Amino acid sequence: MLNSPATKYQPFPTVIKTKRHWPTQVLNKPPRWCSTDLRDGNQALANPMDGASKAEYFQCLIEIGFKEIEVAFPAASDTDYSFVRYLIEQNKIPENVTIQVITQARPELINTTMTSLLGVKKAIVHVYNATAPAFREQVFQMSQKEVIELAIAATTQIKEFCLQHPETHWTLEYSPETFCMTELAFSVEICRAVMDVWKPNAQYPLILNLPATVEVNTPNVYADQIEYMIETLQPSEHTCISVHPHNDRGTGVAAAELAQLAGASRVEGCLFGNGERTGNVDLVTLAMNLYTQGIHPNLNFSNMSKVVSMAEKMTALPVHPRHPYAGELVFTAFSGSHQDAIKKGFQWRKEHESELWNVPYLPLDPKDIGCSYEAVIRVNSQSGKSGASWILQQNHGLILPRYLQQDFSHHIQKHTDSHGKEISMAEIWSLFREQYGLKIKPKLSLSNFTFDAESGTIKANLLQDERQISLLGHGKGLISAWINALTQLFDGEITVLHYDEHSLGHSTDSQAVAYVGCQFNQSEVFYGVAIEKDISKAALQAILNSLITVYPQLSYQ
């Protein structure tokens, strides 16, 4: 890189404007969306889609709810031409959907393009020519006057064809390509020239599309440009101002949003921002940005993962794991403080029966786009005690008391530190069971017991491997009687420091879980958990399970 980049790169000029209206506007409705996945997106692929893939993609776009779809560049390839014919001849275009095709402003290409549309009920013919100085001078060696004449000739040719085919409802879309790099006065002049020829009305509407073909300025400058065009052109209701932002500076979404504040009412783009170089503006993010402001975008991403899979299959481009709203990791919290806040947020929601979404760290309820809460919290070495206990609560209904959360987090930490990676839900559950004696066949299990409350006597039968053990104990209550009975087994003093229990589920035959922390010989504290149908049995078994590590000290002969 240069030490003084100013010798090579110049800042893009701002728009001289004394009054701006867009900064005080609010986005309160969705734009007219136009998906250009099948044309703009497709032409940027290493392996462009074949007809069958385009047909599948088209169907998916319709299911999402797109009403305007740029389907092809018919004069560019046989595949594209045939695809347009296929849609028309096979009756694949729903009543409420308008297909759009693009062409350069050249007579023979326009002719092929218009022919491809014969018999369609309605269509948008999108014609463009490059208007920016670099293109006029370097690429086409044309004067401003010649560039305008080209646009006029193209519009005239299209209009003549349309008048000869009144069975179709035609809309013209004109793009001064490279609009954002074109002198504003010249953009106004060429758009006016097109409007004068087309004479937009209800039968023949016009779309003036103002592309950031290459994004060269900050979104506020783009918004100024759009506002300037609208103020100067004063378009009637039959002329729609459309934008087509690219993402070269990484601000395509912001540019599209500010352009709408500035008065644009239509946005062209692609799913997940596919397109040349850094891509077209991402329509998924734009739509979901509206949704999270409480505005339905008129596009449906209730099954986001299906849309992701489809797009990935068709484009062979992966959707980034951190892609807004759609990436695999965008609802996932690894860090302990985030997990803790999310967990408390969900709890708060439940307690307050709140409809409004305000869970910390989550801008959107994952359920709204078809995601489960499972992926919200994942556990690695960065996670605190909340993460693992959340997963146990979500998947197994266990509400760990604080002392157990703390103890278990040490075991998780040890595991993630030694394995150096994320611990899966299944691994967390298996570690928990291992640690607190929740085995299918415990080393020492309580087969049955009776407790006589009056005399405080417990009689219990245990099973150690295949061996039957019978115990007798006395105490004021069940637990103290049980501790007394266990002194026959364990060579030391047992003190129950912590005890908690709750039922799992609401039905009468649901199980109960007991959590205990027992001190052995007034030194270390051991924790145990047990799940049983009967809560008393769970309590007694949990105490047995807590002592699992002192089994070698069993004194029973």
Site for Zn ion contains 416 (CB under 5 A): no
Alpha-carbon distance of 517 to 526, in angstroms, equals: 5
DSSP state of 39: I
- Cα separation values, 501 from 384, 404, 498, 530, Å: 23, 12, 10, 10
Q: Is 37 in the site for Zn ion (CB under 5 A)?
A: no
Q: Annotated binding residue at 411? A: no
Residue 387, classed as helix, strand or coil, is: helix
Instruction: Point out which span in 35-43, 159-167, 259-267, 496-504 binds Zn ion (CB under 5 A).
Output: 35-43
How near is the Cβ of 214 to Zn ion at its closest, in Å?
A: 10
CB of 309 closer than 8 Å to CB of 286:
no
Q: Is 226 left (phi over 0), alpha (psi -120 to 50) or beta?
A: alpha
Q: Is the Cβ of residue 40 or residue 407 nearer to Zn ion in the bound state?
A: 40
- Based on CB atoms, which residue is closest to Zn ion, 181 or 539? 181
Count, residues near Zn ion per rule CB under 5 A:
2
Segment lying near Zn ion (by CB under 5 A), choices 36-44, 316-324, 441-449, 456-464? 36-44
Q: Name beta bridge partners: 242.
A: 209, 266
C-alpha torsion 175→180→185→191, nearest 10: 10
**To the nearest whole angstrom, how small is the minimum distance from the Cβ of residue 280 to Zn ion?**
4
Stretch that binds Zn ion, among 40-48, 235-243, 348-356, 515-523 (CB under 5 A): 40-48
- Of 279 and 473, nearer to Zn ion (C-beta) is 279
Q: Residues 261-300: x/- map of binding to Zn ion (CB under 5 A)?
A: -------------------x--------------------
Nearer to Zn ion, 200 or 269 (CB): 269
Is residue 324 a contact partner of residue 341, using CB atoms and an 8 Å limit?
Answer: no
Find the shortest distance in angstroms from Cβ 311 to Zn ion. 16
Distance between CA atoms of residues 144 and 136, nearest Å = 8
CB closer to Zn ion out of 280 and 416: 280
Q: Which CB sits closer to Zn ion, 103 or 280? A: 280
Placement of tokens 């218009």 in the chain:
114
Per rule CB under 5 A, is residue 173 in the interface with Zn ion? no
Shortest gap between Cβ of 173 and Zn ion (angstroms)? Answer: 13
Sheet holding 457-464, edge to edge: 444-452, 457-464, 467-474
Helices (H) and strands (E) in the chain, counts: 17, 14
Question: CA dist 424 to 178, 214, 417, 507, Å?
Answer: 49, 43, 14, 30
465 assigned binding-site residue: no
Residue 136: closest CA among 187, 86, 67: 187
Nearest-Å Rg of the Cα atoms of the chain is 34
In this complex, which beta carbon is closest to Zn ion, that of residue 244 or of residue 343? 244
Footprint (CB under 5 A) of Zn ion, residues 79-138: none
Burial (CB count <10 Å: 0-12, 13-18, 19+), residue 501: middle
Min. distance of Cβ 270 from Zn ion in angstroms?
8
Shortest distance, position 274 Cβ to Zn ion, whole Å: 10
Indicate whether 484 belongs to the interface with Zn ion (CB under 5 A). Answer: no
465 closest CA partner among 485, 488, 487, 442: 442
Q: Which residues pair with 241 in a beta bridge?
A: 208
Angstrom distance (rounded) from CA 393 to CA 381: 20
Which region among 38-46, 65-73, 410-418, 498-506 touches Zn ion (by CB under 5 A)? 38-46
Closest to Zn ion by CB, 225 vs 405, is 225
Stretch that binds Zn ion, among 32-40, 455-463, 480-488, 514-522 (CB under 5 A): 32-40
Residue 246 annotated as binding? yes
Q: Please report whether residue 35 would count as binding Zn ion according to CB under 5 A.
A: no
Taking the least distance from each CB to Zn ion, the nearer of 40 and 500 is: 40
Shortest reach from residue 376's CB to Zn ion, in Å: 35
User: What is the distance between the alpha carbons of residues 65 and 489, in angstroms, rounded to a whole number?
Assistant: 70
Pick the closer one to Zn ion by CB: 49 or 376: 49
- What is the smallest separation between the CB atom of 210 and Zn ion, expressed in angstroms? 12
Exposed e or buried b per residue across 283-303, where buried means at least 16 C-beta atoms within 10 angstroms of its C-beta: bbbbbbbbbeeeeebbbebee
Q: Has 300 been labeled as part of a binding site? A: no
Q: Looking at beta carbons only, is 70 or 500 nearer to Zn ion?
A: 70
Binding segment for Zn ion (CB under 5 A), chosen from 34-42, 220-228, 258-266, 332-340, is: 34-42
**Closest distance of CB 218 from Zn ion, Å:** 19
**Among residues 33, 35, 40, 217, the one that binds Zn ion under rule CB under 5 A:** 40
Query: Nearest distance from residue 286's CB to Zn ion, in Å?
Result: 14
Shortest separation between residue 213's beta carbon and Zn ion, angstroms: 7
Task: Tell me how far the alpha carbon of residue 249 is from its chain's centroid.
Answer: 22
Instruction: Using alpha carbons, select from 175, 381, 210 the residue that is nearest to residue 281.
Output: 210
* Nearest CA-CA partner of 444 in 515, 517, 547, 513: 547
Annotated binding site for Mg(2+): 40, 244, 246, 280
Residue ranges of the annotated binding site are 40, 244, 246, 280
User: Where along the sequence are the contacts to Zn ion (CB under 5 A)?
Assistant: 40, 280
